[in-house]
DNA sequence: CGAACCCGTTAGATTACATCA
DNA sequence: ACTGATGTAATCTAACGGGTT
């Protein structure tokens, strides 16, 4: 597909944003450069897709490094430990109790402690142990009553493998605990898709249903994609502004040259000059007409002859 | 055909802020 | 002026259904 940039005009929407690409990289950081997006419609998971922006009409210069964005939040594990100590395969660990306790101490500061205690019980495994400190505020009490009401069936819902659905009740939304989310994040960092085995192991370890894990990963991928789209859009906007500015500058330069030609009619009677530009190295070489008459050495060279020079496609 | 995934949507939970007693 | 309770809009995100691969 092509990158639609309209200089000096209202930029058209970028079609690749309408059909976003799979965003994947091994370490799940985000990498972006501008350029042609692969038209390869295949959206197979875990496909390394770094080439999708390469070699397009707009090439980032060497001084213009790819925009990299790491949107993955630091997990409590990472915050408290060097990166080398991060969990390699979370689902292979026995339990995360120790990690969660440590993270809770380091985290959860601030005025929302009661709320946090409600939404983040003591461990991912014993999901709904209730922190009674919430009774310190009336609102906390209200929250607790609501939680208790939810918990009646919530415990059953949350339990791994207990699939008894809501008995016709409206669906309930169960917030994952911070620990569960952190654990899932860690897993997502390792693989942003799960095979059935991993899904089941993760679900079992977090005391969730496999479907919940599956949905979490789907939603997580969607969030990643959305963020990346925003970053792409922002970067292309800047690109467009830069090119518009350059276009303006070149137009001005052209006007000046035309004015010069008009004021000095003999100026252009020098031997015709050919500008030759190599698309690969983007080097412009000025040659006289005689030299230009000889065919260029490389077949992919093209010529720009003033005053009708056009910009390269 | 079934499984896995994506996408758009819904709705519950949470947060931020304003208002009032 | 300050504080806590309450209401409301905005935001986040778990969950769902349908379509696609």
Mind listing the pLDDT tens digit of every residue in chain A (313 residues)? Answer: 333 333 333 333 333 333 333 333 333 333 444 433 333 333 333 333 333 333 333 333 333 333 444 433 333 333 333 333 333 344 434 333 333 333 333 333 333 333 333 333 333 333 333 333 333 333 333 333 333 333 333 333 333 333 333 344 455 678 888 888 989 998 998 888 888 888 998 998 898 888 899 999 999 999 998 888 888 888 888 999 999 999 999 999 999 999 998 888 665 565 555 666 666 665 665 555 444 444 444 333 333 333 333 333 3
Domain membership of residue A216 (yes or no) is: no
- Tokens 């789907």 belong to A218
Residue whose CA is minimally distant from C20 C1': A43
Domain membership of residue A50 (yes or no) is: no
Q: What is the pLDDT of residue A67?
A: 45
Regarding whether A286 and A203 lie in a shared domain, the answer is no
Regarding whether A288 and A193 lie in a shared domain, the answer is no
Distance A92 CA to C9 C1' (A): 43
Q: What is the pLDDT of residue A191?
A: 87
Regarding whether A279 and A160 lie in a shared domain, the answer is no
Return the structure tokens found at A193: 């898709």
Domain boundary among A208, A229, A256: A208
Regarding whether A182 and A97 lie in a shared domain, the answer is yes
Minimal CA–CA distance to A20: which of A29, A10, A32?
A32
Domain membership of residue A135 (yes or no) is: yes
Give, as ranges, the nucleotides of chain B with any atom within 7 Å of a protein CB: 3-8, 11-16
Domain membership of residue A43 (yes or no) is: no
Give, as ranges, the nucleotides of chain C with any atom within 7 Å of a protein CB: 4-6, 13-17, 21
Regarding whether A103 and A201 lie in a shared domain, the answer is yes
Distance A100 CA to C3 C1' (A): 35
Minimal CA–CA distance to A129: which of A177, A169, A85, A173?
A177
Pinpoint the alpha helices (H) of A264-299: 289-293
Range of the domain at A191: 76-208
Domain boundary among A208, A228, A261: A208
Closest nucleotide to A42: CA versus each C1': C21
CB A32 within 8 A of CB A213: no
Per the structure, the residues numbered 268 to 307 in protein chain A that have their CB within 7 angstroms of any atom of strand C are none
CA distance A241 to A144: 52
Distance A115 CA to C6 C1' (A): 17
CA distance A23 to A228: 8
Q: What is the pLDDT of residue A274?
A: 61
Distance A65 CA to C11 C1' (A): 33
Domain membership of residue A11 (yes or no) is: no
Domain membership of residue A20 (yes or no) is: no
Strands A273-277 and A284-288: antiparallel
The total of structural domains in chain A comes to 2
Regarding whether A283 and A167 lie in a shared domain, the answer is no
Neighbours of A115 (CB within 10 A): 16
CA distance A158 to A31: 36
Domain membership of residue A137 (yes or no) is: yes
Minimal CA–CA distance to A237: which of A31, A32, A38, A28?
A32
Distance A291 CA to C12 C1' (A): 66
Q: What is the pLDDT of residue A138?
A: 33
Determine if strand C comes within 7 Å of the CB of A174: yes
Domain boundary among A208, A232, A248: A208
Biggest CA-to-CA distance, chain A: 94
Q: Summarize pLDDT for A110-149 with one digit per residue, the tens.
A: 333 333 333 333 333 333 333 333 333 333 333 333 333 3
Minimal CA–CA distance to A199: which of A160, A164, A156?
A160
Q: How many residues does chain A have?
A: 313
Distance A174 CA to B12 C1' (A): 8
CA distance readout (Å), A209 to A59, A162, A166, A173:
46, 7, 14, 14
Q: How far is CA A286 from the centre of its chain?
A: 42
Rounded to the nearest 10 degrees, the angle between the axes of helix A210-263 and helix A196-206 is 120
CB A78 within 8 A of CB A70: no
Domain membership of residue A116 (yes or no) is: yes
Pinpoint the alpha helices (H) of chain A: 15-18, 76-80, 97-106, 113-119, 138-158, 178-190, 196-206, 210-263, 289-293
CA distance A245 to A95: 57
């Amino acid at each position: 597909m092509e990158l639609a940039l309209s200089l000096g005009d209202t930029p058209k929407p970028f079609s690749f944003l309408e059909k976003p690409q799979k965003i994947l990289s091994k370490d799940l950081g985000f990498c972006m450069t501008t350029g042609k997006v692969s038209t390869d419609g295949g959206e197979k998971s875990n496909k390394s897709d770094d080439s999708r922006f390469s070699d397009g009409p707009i090439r980032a210069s060497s001084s213009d490094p790819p925009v990299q964005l790491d949107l993955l939040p630091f997990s409590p594990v990472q915050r408290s430990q060097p990166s080398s100590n991060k969990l390699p395969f979370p689902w292979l660990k026995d339990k995360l109790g120790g990690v969660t306790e440590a993270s809770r101490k380091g985290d959860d500061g601030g005025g929302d402690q009661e709320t946090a205690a409600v939404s983040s019980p003591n461990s991912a495994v014993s999901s709904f142990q209730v922190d009674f400190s919430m009774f310190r505020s009336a609102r906390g009490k209200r929250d607790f009553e609501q939680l208790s009401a939810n918990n009646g069936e919530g415990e059953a819902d949350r339990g791994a493998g207990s699939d008894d659905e809501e008995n016709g009740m409206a669906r309930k939304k169960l917030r994952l605990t911070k620990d569960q989310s952190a654990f899932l994040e860690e897993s997502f960092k390792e693989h942003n898709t799960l095979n059935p085995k991993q899904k089941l192991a993760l679900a079992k370890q977090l005391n969730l249903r496999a479907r919940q894990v599956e949905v979490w990963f789907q939603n997580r991928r969607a969030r990643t994609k959305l963020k990346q789209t925003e970053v792409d859009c922002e970067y292309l906007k800047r690109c467009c502004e830069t090119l518009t500015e350059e276009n303006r500058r070149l137009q001005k330069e052209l006007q000046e040259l035309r004015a010069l030609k008009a004021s000095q009619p003999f100026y252009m009677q020098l031997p015709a000059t050919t500008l030759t530009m190599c698309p690969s190295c983007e080097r412009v070489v000025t040659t006289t007409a005689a030299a230009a008459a000889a065919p260029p050495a490389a077949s992919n060279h093209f010529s720009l002859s003033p005053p009708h020079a056009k910009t390269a496609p």
